[in-house]
Amino acid sequence: MFKYKRKSNTLERRAINIFKTTKNPEEAGYITTSGEFLYFPSPAMDKTSFDRGHFRIMRLSSKTSINTNDYINRTKNIRIQVTPTNASFEVRQLPNESQWEALQEAGKNRKIFSDYTNENGESIKSGQFADFSEFKHWVMKNAI
């Protein structure tokens, strides 16, 4: 049986091949559609170096320039930043089951911050949550 492969899946596979995956959400920059943490280590893990690390996503396309917004829009990946005490998630659409599991793991025992963003990366809604169940309820209520 022939399976149609979307371009976004090809872009996501390329990202996994280049950056690899990690089991540690604190080393991740994205959650893939299969629920894997895309490896984006940051030496100091401060806001500046972390955001600079996301510019590496531009390496994924040799034909055209790709930025973080293009990557998220095309792959449906979720951008994350996780520290020992906090987890921050950028959500553009309702996560799939694998992504929910990864979000739960990344948010475990952490205060959660989240933004719903549009295709340009502009925040539509923001929230902060004491636990994962509160976060999930908010996402389900505000799903775009």
Write the DSSP string, 40-69.
---SS--HHHHHHHHGGGGGG-SSS---HH
pLDDT at 101 exceeding the cut of 90: yes
Residue 124 structural domain: 25-142
Region class of 128: left (phi > 0), else alpha (psi between -120 and 50), else beta: beta
Position 87 in a domain: yes
Q: Tell me the average pLDDT of the chain.
A: 84
Which of 15-19, 46-50, 52-56, 78-82 is the least confident region? 46-50
- Is 90 among the domain residues? yes
Lowest mean pLDDT among 27-31, 37-41, 47-51: 47-51
Among 38, 102, 106, residue whose Cα is nearest residue 75: 38
Higher per-residue pLDDT: 98 or 8: 98
For the segment 68-93, the average pLDDT, to the nearest whole number, is 93
Residue 14 counted as domain residue = no
In this prediction, residue 10 has a pLDDT band, given cuts at 50, 70 and 90, of confident
Report the predicted TM-score, pTM, of the whole model to 2 decimal places.
0.84
Instruction: Average the pLDDT over 27-51 and give the result.
Output: 77
Residue 10 belongs to a domain: no
By DSSP bridging, strand 86-91 and strand 111-117 are parallel
Number of domains in the chain: 1
78 domain residue, yes or no = yes
pLDDT in tens, 54-67: 556 666 666 666 77
In a domain, 76, yes or no: yes
Least confident span in 26-30, 50-54, 78-82, 84-88? 50-54
Residue-level pLDDT at 41: 76
Whether 111 is covered by a domain: the verdict is yes
Q: What number is the average pLDDT over the span 112-138? A: 95
* Residue 116: strand pairing partners: 91, 125
List, in sequence order, every residue forming a beta bridge with 113; answer none if it has no partner.
88, 128
Would residue 29 count as lying in a domain?
Answer: yes
